Amino acid sequence: MYFSQTLAFRVEWNGRGPFWQDKTLTELVRHCRKLTPHWKQHDSPSSTFLEHYCAMADSPYDNKDFDRHLSRLPDNDCSLGFGFLSVQGLREAFSLEVALYQEQFQLLLERTTAFRVRAYSCLPLALSATEVLFRWSSAELLDEAASWQQVLAL
């Protein structure tokens, strides 16, 4: 199947992604909890928006088009990128309508230079309803958001 150029909105930590690989998720969760020590008092399904996403999201391997590309890669291969097709899709995936999760997301953006949302133009290898898998060699960085207002403007 042939796809035309599309936008991918990625959450990145120290210029790396996807955020659930290696130690990145652990580092991000630790930072979220540190920035919002009151997370224990909230009646939220998970302590952070990241844990919520990981618990609720379908595995990329559950999508046959994604799996076809991902299953052929050697471990720790970084040639493919993964992102959301829209900022709204990103917001919904992380349940940012939950006040605690939005606060964590905003504080990470505002208080750490390592956490960013980046918009790329890319040629998709596979698409789901809300996500895109692409080859880094075809991606071009278009914009970077370092604040909540910038994310909303992407």
The reply to whether 67 falls in a domain is yes
pLDDT digit string, tens, across residues 28-59: 899 999 999 998 888 777 899 988 888 887 66
Structure pTM?
0.84
In angstroms, rounded to a whole number, what is the distance separating the alpha carbons of residues 126 and 130? 11
- Residue 20: per-residue pLDDT: 66
The reply to whether 14 falls in a domain is yes
Please state, rounded to an integer, the average pLDDT across all residues of the chain: 85
> Structural domain tally of the chain?
1
Q: What is the mean pLDDT of residues 70-88?
A: 76
Domain that holds residue 118: 6-153
pLDDT digit string, tens, across residues 54-66: 888 766 666 777 7
